[in-house]
Amino acid sequence: ASYDMGGHDTYMHKEIHEQADAVDRVLRGRIDDRFSTVHLGGLNLDAREARRIRRVKILGCGTSYHAGMIGAQMIEQLARIPADAEPASEFRYRNAVVDPDTLYVAVSQSGETYDVLAAVQELKRKGARVLGVVNVVGSAIAREADGGIYVHAGPEVCVVSTKCFTNTTVAFALLALHLGRTRDLSVRDGKRIIEGLRKLPAQIAEIMEREDDVKKLALQFAEARSMLFIGRVRGYPVAREASLKLKEISYIHAEAYPASELKHGPLALIEPALPTVAIVPDDDLLEKNRAAMEEIKARSGRILAVAHQPQEKADETIVVPKNEDELDPILMGIPLQLLAYHTALALGRDIDKPRNLAKSVTVE
Cβ-based nearer residue to ligand AGP, 65 or 236? 65
Closer of 156 and 316 to ligand AGP (Cβ): 156
Closest to ligand AGP by CB, 122 vs 189, is 122
Q: How far is 146 from 141, CA to CA, in rounded Å? A: 10
Distance CA 219, CA 346 (A): 7
Q: Which of 336, 276, 340 is nearest to 311 (CA)?
A: 276
Write out the H or E segment, with its range, that includes residue 84.
strand 83-87
* Residues in contact with 51: Cβ distance below 8 Å, sequence separation at least 6, in sequence order: 182, 183
**φ, ψ for residue 142, nearest 5 deg:** -60, -40
- Min dist. Cβ of residue 96 to ligand AGP (A): 19
Binding site for ligand AGP (CB under 6 A): 61-64, 108-110, 113, 116, 159-161, 248, 357, 360-361
Catalytic site includes residue 215: no
As measured in angstroms, the least distance from the Cβ of 54 to ligand AGP is 26
Residue 124 or 297 with smaller CB distance to ligand AGP:
124
Instruction: List, in order, residues 6 or more apart from 269 with CB less than 8 Å away.
Output: 228
Residue among 62 and 231 whose Cβ is closer to ligand AGP: 62
CB of 189 to ligand AGP, least distance (A): 30
Least distance from ligand AGP to the Cβ atom of residue 299, Å: 31
Strand partners, 83: 56
Question: Measured from the CB of residue 248, what is the shortest distance to ligand AGP in angstroms?
Answer: 6
Q: How far is the CB of 66 from ligand AGP (least distance, A)?
A: 8
Please state, in angstroms and rounded to a whole number, the distance separating the CA atoms of residues 290 and 286: 6
DSSP string, 286-312: HHHHHHHHHHHHHTT--EEEEESS--T
Q: Residue 112 contacts by C-beta under 8 Å, 6 or more apart in sequence?
A: 136, 139, 140, 141, 360, 362
DSSP H helices in 109-210:
114-125, 140-144, 163-182, 187-209
Alpha-helical (H) ranges within 251-285 are: none
109 versus 311: smaller Cβ distance to ligand AGP: 109
Closest approach, Cβ 184 to ligand AGP, in A, equals 32
Closest residue to ligand AGP, judged by C-beta, is 62
- DSSP secondary structure letter of residue 314: S
Q: For 91, phi and psi rounded to 5 degrees?
A: -50, -45
CB-CB contact of 222 with 343 (8 Å): yes
Q: Which residues are catalytic?
A: 359
